[in-house]
C-alpha cells in the first residue's frame, strides 16, 4: 500500500523535468509537499506520535523507490531523522532534514559539517557530537556549495552552535543509518538503470536486429545484472534488524557493496546506450548522476572496506563465520 502510493506521488511530481528543475534550483515544494501531506515523513514514528510505525525492513522498499526515481532531495534522511528523534514532537511536519556524519567543533565554539548531502536545501540537519544527537537549524548556517551544484551537497557552518533540540539517545546509530539508507537508494537507482539499459538493448536495432542479440552486449548486461543483484541483496540485509539501527558492520557491508556496484552499473548503462545516454535530455543521466553521488555519500566503498578489513583482522573468526555473523 505505502509503496504504490509513494511510486504514484513520485511519478506525478518527480519526473525527469521536475528533477531537472530541482537540480537547477527551483523550489522543491511540489514533490516534498505532496509526500509530507501524504504522511511519508513520519513512516518510522510510532502511531502514538502520528506516524505509521513501520519497521526498517518495511521502509527499505520505499527508500529503494526514492532511488529509482533519482530524487536528489534528502527525503530518505528526513524519514530516518524523524524516526530517530523519538523524544521530539515540536519539529514542523514539512521540515526537510538531512544527516551529517562529519561534524567538527572548533575551539571558539563554532560548528562545521563537511559535505552534507542535501545541505543546500535542507531546513535542518541531524548530527552527532559524539555524545548526543543535535538538531541544527540550517537557516542560520553559512552554506558553502561543494562540487557539482546539481548534487545539492554543501559544507555547513554555525558560528553559534546552539541546537534546536538535543537527544542523548541514538548518537551511535547515526552513521550506520546514514550508510544503510544510502545503500537502499543506490539499490533502487541501479535497478532503474538496468531496466533502462535492457529496454534500450531490446529496442535499438543495428544490422537488422536488436543490439541485445549481440553476444558482447549480452555479456555486458549479464555482468550488470549480477552487480545490481549483489548490491541490492547487500543493501536489504542491512534492514533486517529489529532495533533502531543496523549494526555498523551490516551497514558497512551494505554501503561498500552497493557503492562498488553503483559505479560499475553506471558505466555499463552508458556503454550500452552510447552517445545518447550522455545527453542531458535523456533521463539515464539523472539516474547515473545519483549513482555516482550516492556512491561517495557518507563514504565510498574504499572507506567502508577499510573499516570492514580492520574489524576482520582484529577478530579471530574465519571470513565465512565473520560474514555469517553480520
CATH number at residue 20: 1.10.540.10
Cell (9 digits) for 166: 538535543
Q: Are residues 11 and 156 in the same domain?
A: yes
Q: Got the DSSP string for 205-253? A: EETTEEGGGSHHHHHHHHHHHHHHHHHHHHHHHTT--SSSS--HHHHHH
Most confident stretch, 96-105, 127-136, 292-301:
292-301
Interacting residues of 80 by C-beta distance below 8 A, sequence separation 6+: 44, 99, 177, 178, 181
**How high does pLDDT run on average in the chain?**
91
Do 181 and 158 have their domain in common?
Answer: no
Tell whether 50 and 187 lie within a shared domain: no
Q: What is the mean pLDDT of residues 60-76?
A: 97
Identify the domain boundary among 150, 168, 186: 168
216 and 316 housed in the same domain? yes
Q: What confidence score (pLDDT) does residue 129 get? A: 83
Residue 93 has pLDDT above 80, yes or no: no
How far is residue 93's CA from residue 82's CA, in Å, rounded to a whole number? 9
Same-domain check for residues 79 and 201:
no
Which of 127, 151, 168 terminates a domain? The answer is 168
Residue 127, H or E segment: strand 124-128
Is residue 32 within 8 A of residue 73, CB to CB? The reply is yes
Do residue 159 and residue 244 come from a single domain?
no
**One domain, residues 132 and 216:** no
Whole domain around residue 13: which residue ranges?
A: 2-168
User: Tell me, what's the pLDDT at 135?
Assistant: 94
Query: What are the grid coordinates assigned to 209, written together?
Result: 536486429
Q: Is 97 exposed, middle or buried (0-12, 13-18, 19+ CB in 10 A)?
A: buried
156 and 185 part of one domain: no
Last residue of a domain, one of 168, 189, 220: 168
Examine the domain organization and report whether 10 and 37 are in the same domain: yes
- Any idea what the CATH number is for the domain that residue 183 is in? 1.20.140.10
Going by pLDDT thresholds of 50, 70 and 90, the confidence category of residue 87 is confident
Q: Is the pLDDT confidence value at 326 over 80?
A: no
143 has pLDDT over 90 = yes
Tally the domains of the chain: 2
Same domain? 215 vs 301: yes
Amino acid at each position: 500500500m505505502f509503496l504504490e502510493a509513494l511510486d504514484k506521488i513520485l511519478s506525478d511530481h518527480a519526473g525527469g523535468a521536475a528533477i531537472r528543475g530541482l537540480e537547477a534550483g527551483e523550489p522543491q515544494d511540489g514533490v516534498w509537499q505532496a509526500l509530507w501531506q501524504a504522511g511519508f515523513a513520519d513512516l518510522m514514528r510510532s502511531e502514538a506520535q502520528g506516524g505509521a510505525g513501520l519497521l526498517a525492513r518495511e521502509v527499505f522498499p520505499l527508500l529503494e523507490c526514492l532511488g529509482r526515481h533519482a530524487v536528489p532531495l534528502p527525503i530518505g534522511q528526513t524519514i530516518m531523522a524523524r524516526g530517530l528523534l523519538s523524544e521530539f514532537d515540536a519539529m514542523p511536519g514539512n521540515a526537510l532534514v538531512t544527516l551529517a556524519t562529519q561534524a567538527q567543533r572548533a575551539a571558539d565554539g563554532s560548528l562545521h559539517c563537511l559535505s552534507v548531502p542535501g545541505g543546500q536545501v535542507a531546513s535542518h540537519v541531524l548530527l552527532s557530537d559524539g555524545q548526543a544527537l543535535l538538531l541544527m537549524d540550517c537557516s542560520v548556517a553559512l552554506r558553502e556549495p561543494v562540487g557539482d551544484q546539481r548534487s545539492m551537497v554543501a559544507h555547513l557552518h554555525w558560528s553559534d552552535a546552539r541546537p534546536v533540540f538535543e537527544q542523548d539517545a541514538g548518537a551511535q546509530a547515526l552513521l550506520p543509518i546514514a550508510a544503510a539508507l544510502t545503500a537502499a537508494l543506490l539499490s533502487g537507482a541501479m535497478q532503474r538503470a538496468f531496466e533502462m539499459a535492457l529496454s534500450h538493448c531490446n529496442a535499438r536495432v543495428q544490422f537488422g536486429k536488436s543490439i541485445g542479440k549481440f553476444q558482447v552486449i549480452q555479456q555486458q548486461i549479464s555482468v550488470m545484472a549480477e552487480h545490481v543483484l549483489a548490491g541490492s541483496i547487500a543493501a536489504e540485509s542491512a534492514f533486517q534488524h529489529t532495533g533502531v539501527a543496523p549494526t555498523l558492520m551490516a551497514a558497512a557491508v551494505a554501503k561498500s557493496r552497493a557503492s562498488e556496484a553503483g559505479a560499475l552499473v553506471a558505466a555499463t548503462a552508458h556503454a550500452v546506450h552510447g552517445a545518447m545516454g550522455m545527453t542531458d535530455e535523456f533521463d539515464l543521466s539523472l539516474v547515473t548522476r545519483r549513482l555516482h553521488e550516492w556512491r561517495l555519500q557518507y563514504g565510498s566503498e574504499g572507506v567502508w572496506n577499510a573499516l570492514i578489513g580492520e574489524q576482520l583482522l582484529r577478530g579471530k573468526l574465519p571470513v565465512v563465520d565473520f560474514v555469517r555473523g553480520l
